Structure formats: structure tokens, C-alpha cells
Structure 1
Amino acid sequence: MIYPTRRAIYLLLAGAPLALVLGLVRPDLWLVAPGWIGVILACLILDTLSGANPRHLTLDARFPTQAGVGDSFELSLAAHGRNVPPRAAFALSLDERLADGGRLTGTMRRTGGALVGTVALAASRRGQAGVEALWIRWAGPLGLVWKQRRFRVDGAVDIVPSLRAVTEAGSRLFQRNSWFGLRQQRFRGEGSEYEALAEYQPGMDRRSIDWSASARHVKLLAKEYRVERDNRVVLAIDAGRTMAEPAGGMPRVDRAVAAALLLAYVGLKLGDRISFFSFAAKPQALTPAYMHIQDFPALQRAASRIDYAPVESNFTLALTTLSAQLNRRSLIILFTEFADATSADLMIRAAGRLAKKHRLLFVVLRDEEVEAEERRHPESAADITRANVAAAMLADRQLVIARLRRLGADVIEVPADAMGASAVEAYLGIKRQGGL
């Protein structure tokens, strides 16, 4: 497509007052006006024929077929042809998961006989993000015409849960807790499984002293324990409406999925049986219990299928269904969100029934926006109203947490950026206590 630039239109319009003035002053010079228009038209034709022809361009667009939520990646563009201009503008039509409004613009520059451009992208939500079309436009040598070409890309990027945080945080956690190595080791001194009797040494827990054995052997003997393995751990993710809301620029459910994958990675390393469970208005499939690190890709695929649901979560149906499918005591780590005590009442009742048989750990994100409103110094009556509403919301939230803890469940409130690490620390603490 070729069409005039703003400069060409202004030059053509400039001939109108010139023709009017000449017509009033020197009517015999009326031919100057058509001549001016002819010169501009000739320049337009010359500008059209000069330089690169849009029809001769070919596009090479390269981008990964898969990317993690929140992970940055590059989309490389290269347009090849003869006599390409020094620079050109481009507009890219793509999915809103990759750009607000589904549109990106930028500049391509000539490098080695081709127009080259790079776009840095980061996905905000999971799913399949399409890259639809690209428009390239540049001005002719005289700047009088625009030359434009539309290329159909028809590509797609599968947006899956991010593994970058899993690998980085997992490595740090294993370095911090060196006894959780790549090899399964026996770790004596902590846990709940009895290992052996050993002579008491200063620094050992006095509660581990076996007084009967010490009396028989006439010396202090203490029991040694080892950390339990082969525990069943269920990572339950609430995918309802409240979890679809953003926290720190990313939906809560995506942060929960990333944290659950980190937990799954650590749990498989420790020899526990890990399974995923998600729910919204109704329960979704419960995955088998995996226990080998080679099964981690299967858990990643299961996590990528957890979709966003614009409906309220049915905790009664979900937790009752989950309880019916568990035939042994398990640790259930539930990633969820609750806004007030009234809406969380059914969740508390269902959790109370589940806590009688299983160990429950609730992981919720701190509502930093509400906390900021509650702490902000008021400057008007509207600010005072917002602060009071925020304080009431935080009080309701703490009431729900207190009720859950009275039922015997563990609850941790974590910042958005530390959700995975905090959940893993809580899981490791439960294992050290032998609470499974």
C-alpha cells in the first residue's frame, strides 16, 4: 500500500492560496497553480518509484512457542528485500496477554541489508497468546509517500506456569537446607520416625532422653529420629473469581500455580507423593500422586490446565470431593483468598470437617493495597471513609484466619513476591515437626 504523507498534502494545499493571490494580482500567471500541482504529482510518482518496493519484502518473525507467566522473552523481526530504507516503523497485532490493548509499535533499523527489530514481551496470564499480523511502514526518499506492507504472522505462544522461579528458588532452598540434597539421605535428630538410640551429648534435646533405656544401661541414652518420607501432599488451588484478581501485576491464581510448582519440586526431591487439585464452582480433576522428580513435567502440564473462572468458588463441594478421594492422612496445602467473614463461612465449615483427618495449610496473599489504604494519612473525608473501610476489611480477614487456626489449620499470609519461598518454608517446618 502506498499513500501520501502529511508533507505531500500540506504542499498541495499550499498551492491553493498561491493560485488565489496570482489570480487577483496577475491573472495571466494562472498556469503557475496547475504547474505547482503537476510538480508535486511528479515528485509523488518519483518518490513512489524510488527506494524499496513493499511487494518485494519478506518477513522472518521468530519467537518461542512456549513462555512462562511473567517471564520476559523476545520477538525478533527481520524484513528482507532490495534497497530497504534505513529505518521503518512497525505495528504488531497480538493477544492482550502479551500487550495492553493487543497492539505494540516500534522501530526497525537497517542491519546487513535487512530491516531488523526486537520486541521484549512478557505474558500476564496463562493460555495461548496469538501473534496475528505485522504492519511495516516507511517514507520514500523525498518524504512524500508512505510505503506500507501488512504481513500475516498467525503464530501463537503457549503461556504456561513459570519455571524460572521454581528452578532459582529451589536451588536456593536446597542450598539453605543442605540436608535436602539431590540424594535421599537419612537425617537424624529431627522428624518423627524412630531411628536408633545414641548416647546423650550436650546440645541434644532433653525431651529425647529415653529414661528406661538409660536406667538399664546406667548412662544417658537419647532417641534419634529421622525425617518422614513418602507422605501424601495435595496442592489445592482455588481458581475462582477472587483468585483471578491481580496482585503485584499478576493474577493471584498464577502466583499460586508458580508457588505450587515450587512446592511440588521440593516435595518430589524429598520423596513425598505430590498431587494437584484445583476447583472453582466445581472440582477439577485430582492428579495421581507422583513421587519421582522425573514426574515433574506431568505436574507442570496439570498446572497449565488450571483456568481462570469468573464464578464464586464452591468450597463445600470441592473439599468434600477431595476428602472422599484421599484414603490416608495427607497434608493439604490450599492456595485461596477470602474477602470477608461472611463469604468465608462455608469454607471454614468445610475446612473444619477436613481438618479432623488431614493436616491443612492455608496460603493466602497479603492484601497490600488495602493495607496501604488503611495506613495512609487522610487528607479529606473520602480518605477517612476509605481508611475505615480498609480497616474493617482487614479485621474481617484476621477473624477468618483466627477461626481457621482454632480448627487446627495452619495459615500463612505472605507477600506476593515471596509466596513460593514462604510456602516451602512452612512445608519444611511441618516436616521437621513430624506433623504429617
Structure 2
Amino acid sequence: MIYPTRPCVLAALIGAPLALVAALMQPNLWLAAPGWLLGLGLLMVVDAVLAAPARSADVRLDVPGYLAVAAPSEARLIVDFGNGRAVHQKLEAALDAEARVGLEQSRGRRVSETEFAFPLKPERRGTAIFNEAIVRWRGPLGLIWRQTRRPLPVQTPVGSDIRRIEDEALRMFSRDDQHGAKVQLDVGEGAEFHALRDFHSGMDRRTVDWKQSARHHTLLAKEFRIERNHQVVMALDCGRTMSEPVDGAPRIDRAIHGALILAYASLRGGDRAGLFAFDGRPRLSTGAVTGVGAFPLLVRQAANIDYGTEETNYAFGLTSLSATLKRRSLIVIFTEFADSTSAELMIESVGRLIRKHLVLFVVMRDDELEGLVSAVPETPEDVSRAVVAATLLRERDVVLGRLRRLGAHIVEAPADRLGPEALNVYLDLKRRDLL
């Protein structure tokens, strides 16, 4: 595309009237106005010929391999003409991207002769899609713009802030990181034998190894340490209810943040961790991974969990999860139930899981309902809202009580404390050797 620059337009607007006035004063100068416009047009043609052609422009977009929600980042657009014809000419560039990218301004800031910077600050998880780049440059005479649009087949995942998750997990985990590494004196299911030591007063007599004691003519006791390599699966409900906001962010975003904190601590503690997401049907299953080095993989996979619009099918989702697990695992379910019908189906599905696995049920405390109950009523409508809210909270407590009686462990915490509270319970379960 070729079109005139602002100076060219101004020259035409100013020069033509002046030539017309001159023609009115001197009739023999009546060709001055069309001559001026024709001359300007010829100069524009010359400028277009001298300008670098659009086909010679090589446009590339360099974006980070992963973007974090609410974390500043930057994309770089590189325009290379190869032969250097446009290096000394004015270049401008703009980006067209979907709203999820968080493009703060469409026009880029020029950082070098052929490179532009675009600040990014994503607002939602998912896949960031950059649609196209628009690049234009002036001819050497400054009379015309050449412009080209280039599609950009560039996509990058947008997810949680890895550094913030790791810092928060380390801060919580460092208080208990000795669990799973230090020698334990208690024996339980799955305990791992470590060594023999002299028996001392106060030690558990069940740890005495009578055969070795008889051989060495002194009392010897077994030392144990918590068994590692447990399997921890974070099951994330990404249905319609979990897509609703709480404290300014969707519930699913809060759940993913908490799940990743728990996953990082699990991997760091020597256990295996995996993600499973479902709504009306299973959406994501990463399988169990090992080692802290695999944590970025879980983060990138979590970025692919979309905001669901379907009702959650607990029977289908949890049955599919159970079918993929070949060994006893800790299943951490992040969910929210809206009515007694869905809660009944959820309880039935969780009951089948508990027969083989250890289940940790994580829900967010509903501060809005609690606020309605505790608020001083001023109108009859306030009383009605308080009664309805109290009924919903009572039904919620009944559901959580039934889950506890089935054998599930429950975490009910504020949205911003979901990860730390779940991590505390995980460490406690590991300390008690229940995994």
C-alpha cells in the first residue's frame, strides 16, 4: 500500500491555492495550479520508486516463550530489509493482537534502526495470539508512505507467575523441608528403613530389631525416614462455577495458583506431581512428572486450561482420572459446588475415589455469603438475603461434613490463602506418613 505523507498533503493543500491566486492575478499563469499538483504527483512516483519495496521487508516477532498474568513483559518486532535501503528512512510499526495479550499500546517504541518494543501485561490465562504486524516506512523524499501487513503465526501460553509461585512455595516449604529428608523414628505404612542405631530410653520399643540386637549383644533400633516418590495429582474443576470471580479473579485462576504451589513443593520434596482438569469432560491430563526441572512443564500445561462454560460432570471427570492412576495417590480436588444436586453427584464420585486413594478436598471460603449473614439488616430485602445466604452456608457445611465422614481431608480457606493452606495439609499428611 502506498499513500501520501502529511508534508505531501500539506504541500498540495498550500501550493495549489497559492498557484490559483497567482493565476487570478496573472491569467497567463493559469497552468500553475495543475502544474504544481502534477509536479508533486511526479515527485511522489519518484519517491515510491526509490523507497524499499514491500516484498523486501522481512518482519519477525520475538516474544517470550511464556507470559505470566499481571507480570510486565515485552515483545520485539524486527524489520529487516536485507539490502539496507530503508535503514536511514523513518520506520514505524504496530501490532494487532487479541485482548488476552495485554498489549499496552499498539504502536511500538523504536529501540534500534530496525527493532521495535511492545510492552505486554496479560490479564487472563490461555494462549496469547498475535494476529498481524503493520509496518510502514517513508520514501527518501518524505512524500509517500509504503505500508505492508504481515500475518504473524505466533502463539505463546499465558499462565501464572512462576517466580511468585516458587517464592511462595519455598517460603512455606522451607519450614518443613526436613520432612521427607530427615530420619524419622515412627514407623507407619510405607515407612522406609534407613539404618540401625543404639536404642536409648524414650525411643519407641517397636523399633527394636531383636535379631540384630541378639547378634551384637546390645539393643539396636531401626531408624526410618518418610518414604518419597509419592504421587500427587491436582484435579482442577474448570467448569462454569469455577469461572466466576472471587475477590477480583476467577476461581479457576486462584485454584491453579494454589495447585502449582502444591506441585512445586511436591516435586521439591521428592514426590511426583501431575495436573488433571475437567468440566463436562476431561480437558487436560499431564501425567505424573518428577523433579523440580519438570515444574515449568506443568506451568505451561496449566496455561492451556480455559475458562469453562459447561456444568461440571464429576462422575465422568473423576472416573476418567481414577482410570489413569495405577497406584495409590494423593488426589487434591480444587472445586466449588453451587447446589445440592451437583454436590450429591460429587460426593458419590469422591466416595469411589477414597476406596483406593487419599483425597484432599480444597474449596474457597465464600466471604460474600458470610458477609451477607453477618451484616446488620436495614431493610426486609437484607433479611431475605441473609436468610438465603445462611441456608446456602448450612448446606455447604453439610456437604463438607459428609465428605469428612467418607474419609476425605478438607481445606476451606480464603481465596488468597488457598495454596499455603493446601500445602500445610499436604506437609502434615506427609509427616504423619498417610500418603
TM, length-normalised to structure 1? 0.69
Query: Do the aligned partners of residues 59 and 329 (structure 1) sit closer, same or farther apart at CA in structure 2, a change above 3 Å counting?
Result: closer
The DSSP-based 3-state class of the residue aligned with 1:281 is coil
Which residue pairs with 2:430 in the alignment? Answer: 431
Tell me, in whole angstroms, the C-alpha distance in 1 between the residues paired with 2:66 and 2:386: 37
Q: Is the 8 A contact 1:194 1:225 kept in 2?
A: yes
Matching of residues 225-236 of structure 1 within 5 Å: 227=226, 229-236=228-235
Superposed CA deviations along residues 130-185 of structure 1, whole A, max 9, x for unmatched, are: 4342112356788764442333443333556654344333433343334158xx33
Does the Cα contact within 8 Å between 2:255 and 2:418 map onto a contact in 1? yes
Equivalent position SS for 2:260: helix
Give the match for residue 118 of structure 1: 117
Instruction: Tell me if the contact between 1:166 and 1:261 (Cα under 8 Å) persists in the aligned partners.
Output: yes
* SS of equivalent residue, structure 1 residue 74: strand
- Counterparts in 2 of 1:78 and 1:318: CA distance versus 1, 3 Å: closer
Task: Select 1:94's aligned residue among 87, 92, 97.
Answer: 97
The 1:189–1:36 alpha-carbon spacing in structure 2 relative to 1, beyond 3 Å, is: farther
CA displacement, residues 200-233 of structure 1 (integer Å, 9 cap, x when unaligned)? 4xxxxxxx9889x9xxxxxxxxx99854545443
Q: Which amino acid aligns with 2:399?
A: R
Contact 1:66 1:159 in 2 (8 A): no
What's the counterpart of residue 185 of structure 1? Answer: 182
Cα distance in 1 for partners of 2:332, 2:312 equals 16
Q: Secondary structure at 1:176's aligned position in 2?
A: coil
The aligned counterpart of 1:216 is none
1:361 aligns with 2:357: no
* Correspondences of 1:155-174 after superposition (within 5 Å): 155-159=154-158, 163-174=162-173
Task: Give the 5 Å matches for 1:343-382.
Answer: 343-355=342-354, 358-365=357-364, 370=368
What's the offset of the Cα at 1:280?
1.8
Query: Partner residue of 2:53?
Result: 55
Letter in 2 for 1:199: S
What is the rounded CA distance, in whole Å, between the counterparts of 1:50 and 1:306 in structure 2?
Answer: 51
In the comparison of the two structures, how many residue pairs are matched?
Answer: 407
CA contact (8 A) 2:125 2:158 kept: yes
Return the alpha-carbon distance in structure 2 between the equivalents of residues 275 and 393 of structure 1.
36
Distance 1:392 1:338 in 2: 16
Please state how far the C-alpha of 1:75 moved relative to its aligned partner: 1.4
Identify the residue that residue 213 of structure 2 maps to in structure 1.
none
**CA distance 1:107–1:316, shift in 2 (3 Å):** closer
Query: How far 1:128 moved relative to its partner?
Result: 4.7
Identity %: 35
Partner of 1:74: 74
**Cα 1:338–1:104, aligned 2, differ >3 Å: closer, same or farther?**
farther
Q: For residues 341 and 109 of structure 1, what CA distance do their matches in structure 2 show?
A: 58
The residue number in structure 2 matching 1:39 is 36
Tell me which amino acid in the other structure corresponds to 1:109: R
Question: Which residue does 2:267 correspond to in 1?
Answer: 268
Unaligned runs of at least 5 residues, structure 1: 201-207, 214-222
How far did residue 314 of structure 1 move? 0.5
* Secondary structure of the corresponding residue to residue 274 of structure 1: strand
Relative distance call for 1:141 and 1:251 in structure 2 (3 A) is farther
What is the distance in 2 between the residues matched to 1:110 and 1:194? 59
Two-structure CA RMSD over aligned residues (Å): 5.0
Q: Does 1:338 align with 2:337?
A: yes
- Pick one of 399, 404, 412 that aligns with 2:400: 404
Residues in 2 aligned to 1:94 and 1:387: alpha-carbon distance in whole angstroms: 48
SS at match of 1:105: coil
CA 1:159–1:385 in structure 2 vs 1: closer, same or farther (change >3 Å)? same
Distance 1:319 1:78, change over 3 A: closer
Which of 199, 202, 211 is the aligned partner of 2:201?
199
| 2:338 counterpart SS class | coil
The Cα shift of 1:119 comes to 1.2
Q: 1:366 to 1:136 in 2, by over 3 A?
A: farther
Distance 1:127 1:11, change over 3 A: same
The amino acid that maps onto 1:403 is V
SS in 1 for 2:263: helix
Structure 2 counterpart SS, 1:234: strand
Q: 2: CA distance between counterparts of 1:85 and 1:245?
A: 52
Q: TM-score scaled to structure 2, two decimals?
A: 0.69
Residue 334 of structure 1 deviates from its aligned partner by: 0.5
Task: Tell whether the 8 Å contact from 1:191 to 1:225 is kept in structure 2 after alignment.
Answer: no
Q: Residues 329 and 414 (structure 1 numbering): CA distance in 2 closer, same or farther, change over 3 Å?
A: same
**Residue 398 and residue 229 in structure 1: after superposition, are their counterparts in 2 closer, same or farther (change >3 A)?**
farther
Matches within 5 A, 1:303-342: 303=302, 306=305, 308-323=307-322, 330-342=329-341
Could you list the runs of 5+ residues in structure 2 that have no partner in the other structure?
209-221
